Amino acid sequence: MAKRLFNKEFFIRSVKYNVRTLFRKEIEEATEQQIFQAVGYAVKDAIMDAWIATQKEYEKSDPKIVYYMSMEFLMGRALGNNLINLTFYDEVKEALEEIGLDLNTIEDQEPDAALGNGGLGRLAACFLDSLATLGYAAYGCGIRYRYGMFKQQIVDGYQVEVPDMWLKNGNPFELRRPEYAKTVKFGGYVRVENRNGRNMFIQEGYQSVLAVPVDLPIVGYGNNVINTLRIWDAEAINSFELDRFDKGEYEKAVEQENLARNLVEVLYPNDNHMAGKELRLKQQYFFVSASVQEAIAKYKKKHSDIRKFYEKATFQLNDTHPTVAVAELMRILMDEEGLEWDEAWDVTTKTCAYTNHTIMAEALEKWPIELFSRLLPRIYQIVEEINRRFVNQIQEQYPGNYEKVKKMAIIMDGQVKMAHLAIVAGYSVNGVARLHTEILKKQELKDFYEMMPQKFNNKTNGITQRRFLLHGNPLLAKWVTAHVGDEWITDLPKIKELTLYVDDEKAQHEFMNIKYQNKVRLAKYIKEHNNIDVDPRSIFDVQVKRLHEYKRQLMNILHVMYLYNQIKEHPDMDFYPRTFIFGAKAAAGYMRAKLTIKLINSVADVINNDASINGKLKVVFIEDYRVSNAEWIFAAADVSEQISTASKEASGTGNMKFMLNGAVTLGTMDGANVEIVEEVGEENAFIFGMSAEEVIALENQGGYDPSQLFNTDQDIRHVLMQLINGEYSPNDPERFRELYNALLVDGGYNRPDPYFILKDFRSYAEAQKRVEAAYRDEKGWARMAMLNVAHAGKFTSDRTIQEYVDDIWKLDKVTVELPEEAK
């Protein structure tokens, strides 16, 4: 990979100049935040030439473009990542040191761009990194939320949500581009007018809002390719004209002002859950309409035949959230470009493709007709017509089978089903791990798979090794490079050559020492943030991810309670010191999830303050788990907890980040865990619990009766009783009754323990015993952890993106040369 030249003197001058012009200060007087801003602008400057060159190259060679449409882009911090991908990181670090500045401290000044909830949003961010690195023309299309994912504070053990003012100090990397603004219309009614024998559909009485694009550079690794994440901001179209006294006009102006302000105010903080709010649908249509308009405008600059749009553009719908794109494209092609229905449908069904990320029923998007048609009257007409034609098709293929219509129609029971729309209008439907795709084909989307099997395909998720190894774990990255060369940075399967060293004692020793140093780094963070002392020689056992019942953080903490009981009952038992680390945000309205956070913190309080157990057990809840601290956490983990109820976690991506950083998976055969085990070998992971097939079979029988376990298993009963006897809540013994009831009485879906926590408990505890035994064998553990790193090659998002390109998008590869004067 060509390394661009870095001009140290120029960069230092640029930083100093920025401090002066932005803040009227010399470096010595500037605050840390001001230094970050100055360095950020200097880095954006360094990006600019390549950004311009990339766009010029795209204009010249006219490659097919993928528009990755997503309500979420969980980007994290940009500064360090941009430097890594510019291949300037070490040089900039050195240059800053010369003028007395520390790059890590500066990086810590940057707020995370948390425009996403969890896995789905972070996947979008990893995909953008890989698209730029592989040299494909791509736009991320999303929303510039004023407030991203809330900041989590833990107060008295409870989660408190605090607004995320990530734009408070401005964002040095963004570029506002008002000259490309688009108008988006909501509400009103559709008037049909016959002009020259053709029906025209004219929306009237609507409210409109201006969508203003804000661009963020996406730096490819060492290749001069800079793609664009385009996030749309909202502005009122005609801001107040105070001399207007016409009441109607004035009120309309106020309404439009409010619409613009509310639209992009905040990210909905729900993961794997549908927020059925009008504002959410408005957000969806807002960014989708603007993005589709933009894609068409770009196409028309070079091409005259809109019927071939799909040859130069493809829309990937990140779950159903942007599915109105289907109808918006139809609308523009028919109402503005003058195509007939069939022509427009041909283009649309060759342009749109859909990724499914979950089978959780509560996440499936369904909109009440009343709301949908009121907000998007013309779009609703088009969806109705798509539905009418599709229902005809079902009836032709399955005459007399009304069940099929009921199950498959896009509009049914007063609701618009977005997944059905996405499947019918898309040319590709993909799941995100092999097991997940098989479940889609055989269960969730069986009817659709039978009708259109050619659309279905799998794309197992991946992660970018640039952020999650090269940036997040510099010690391990250097060590890997020293052993296998640096090609893994853009060709992760090369990391497999590490297998040559797994039995080499020196290598084992170095590897474990790096892990130890990363544990020391995390222990310091924990001391600073939680004021808890943890022993970096203990096993770091980590579960970090959104809090959701199906992810079973509750099983993990119940097991901690069980271990604590064991240690108390048998003070002399052999027990290898363990630090259980949790990090998780719960949706603000998800009471059972929030109570689980309180339980974890309550258990932590008791255990961490019990001197009698000699520090054998520690429990840490890391506040405000997010991309930036995640990088440190993965680097320090020994055990990766991936313990979802089998069949429920579509893929998972944290599992891959842990693996790449040398943590060993303790998990169920769910999502991508299946493929991780396939790569690394079952003997190098700790697998337990029911299989997906067993779970689904038991669910179909209506569940199971956990009272049997309660009555026969003393240890389980002991732990459950501690939820309601005040053991961890002496002032309020009833505090955790809700969790007890969920496990033994009704946990939703009209049954106890719907996620089979108690059913899998023994198997989990036994797997944890195997973990402990394995860790005691130092060399064996080093070998196992190294093998995990060595077999992580498949899980690079570079591989995932190449598969999307080959099977779905069919993009052309582009190379970018910098002009002489910019080199």
State the alpha helices, DSSP H only, in 174-246.
none
Structure tokens at 575: 């027990």
Q: What is the DSSP letter of 81?
A: H
Q: What does the H/E/C string look like for 509-545?
A: HHHHHHHHHHHHHHHHHHHHHHCCCCCCCCEEEEEEC
Task: Tell me whether residue 44 or residue 122 sits nearer to ligand KOT (CB atom).
Answer: 122
Contacts of 446 (CB under 8 A, 6+ apart): none
Residues that bind ligand KOT (CB under 6 A): 117, 119-120, 123, 270-273, 319, 357-358, 363, 432, 461, 649-653, 671
Task: Tell me whether residue 149 or residue 539 sits nearer to ligand KOT (CB atom).
Answer: 149
CB of 88 to ligand KOT, least distance (A): 30
CB of 821 to ligand KOT, least distance (A): 42
CB of 465 to ligand KOT, least distance (A): 17
For the packed helices 714-722 and 757-776, what is the interaxial angle rounded to 10 degrees?
Answer: 110
Task: Tell me whether residue 443 or residue 499 sits nearer to ligand KOT (CB atom).
Answer: 443
**Counting beta carbons within 10 angstroms of the beta carbon of residue 22, is it exposed (0 to 12), middle (13 to 18) or buried (19 or more)?**
middle
Strands 73-76 and 429-431: unpaired
Q: Is the separation of the CB atoms in 627 and 732 below 8 Å?
A: no
653 is catalytic: yes
Catalytic residue selected from 653, 665, 796, 800: 653
Q: Is the separation of the CB atoms in 569 and 653 below 8 Å?
A: no
Task: Tell me whether residue 331 or residue 799 sits nearer to ligand KOT (CB atom).
Answer: 799
Catalytic residue selected from 122, 545, 548, 759: 545
CB of 415 to ligand KOT, least distance (A): 17
Q: Is the separation of the CB atoms in 656 and 648 below 8 Å?
A: no
Classified as helix, coil or strand, 588 is: coil
For the packed helices 553-569 and 714-722, what is the interaxial angle rounded to 10 degrees?
Answer: 110
- CB neighbours of residue 594 within 10 Å: 19
Structure tokens at 660: 């790449």
Distance between CA 250 and CA 569 in Å, rounded? 74
Q: Is the separation of the CB atoms in 222 and 85 below 8 Å?
A: yes
Task: Tell me whether residue 561 or residue 677 sits nearer to ligand KOT (CB atom).
Answer: 677
Task: Tell me whether residue 281 or residue 567 sits nearer to ligand KOT (CB atom).
Answer: 281
Catalytic residue selected from 357, 378, 417, 483: 357
CB of 119 to ligand KOT, least distance (A): 3
Distance between CA 635 and CA 524 in Å, rounded? 14
527 is catalytic: no
Task: Tell me whether residue 408 or residue 463 sits nearer to ligand KOT (CB atom).
Answer: 463
Residue 297 Cα distances to 143, 281, 313, 407, angstroms:
19, 24, 12, 38
φ and ψ at residue 393, rounded to 5 degrees: -65, -40
CB of 320 to ligand KOT, least distance (A): 8
CB of 289 to ligand KOT, least distance (A): 20
Summary count for the chain: helices (H), strands (E): 31, 25
State the alpha helices, DSSP H only, in 196-340.
247-263, 278-302, 324-331
Catalytic residue selected from 466, 515, 657, 794: 657
CB of 657 to ligand KOT, least distance (A): 11
Task: Tell me whether residue 72 or residue 233 sits nearer to ligand KOT (CB atom).
Answer: 72
545 is catalytic: yes
CB of 454 to ligand KOT, least distance (A): 23
Contacts of 621 (CB under 8 A, 6+ apart): 154, 530, 582, 583, 597, 600, 601, 604
Catalytic residue selected from 546, 548, 618, 799: 546
Contacts of 214 (CB under 8 A, 6+ apart): 144, 174, 175, 176, 177, 230, 231, 232, 233
441 is catalytic: no
478 is catalytic: no
| Residue whose tokens read 């020994």 | 638
Distance between CA 704 and CA 719 in Å, rounded? 20
Task: Tell me whether residue 271 or residue 727 sits nearer to ligand KOT (CB atom).
Answer: 271
Structure tokens at 424: 């019918």
Task: Tell me whether residue 4 or residue 357 sits nearer to ligand KOT (CB atom).
Answer: 357
Q: Is the separation of the CB atoms in 546 and 272 below 8 Å?
A: yes
Find the angle CA(116)-CA(623)-CA(542) to the nearest 5 degrees.
Answer: 90
Distance between CA 612 and CA 225 in Å, rounded? 58
Distance between CA 179 and CA 157 in Å, rounded? 48
Task: Tell me whether residue 418 or residue 607 sits nearer to ligand KOT (CB atom).
Answer: 418
According to DSSP, the residues that pair with 67 across neighbouring strands are 139, 315
CB of 325 to ligand KOT, least distance (A): 17
122 is catalytic: no
Q: Is the separation of the CB atoms in 376 and 418 below 8 Å?
A: no
CB of 284 to ligand KOT, least distance (A): 11
Active-site residues: which are they?
Answer: 357, 545-546, 551, 653, 657
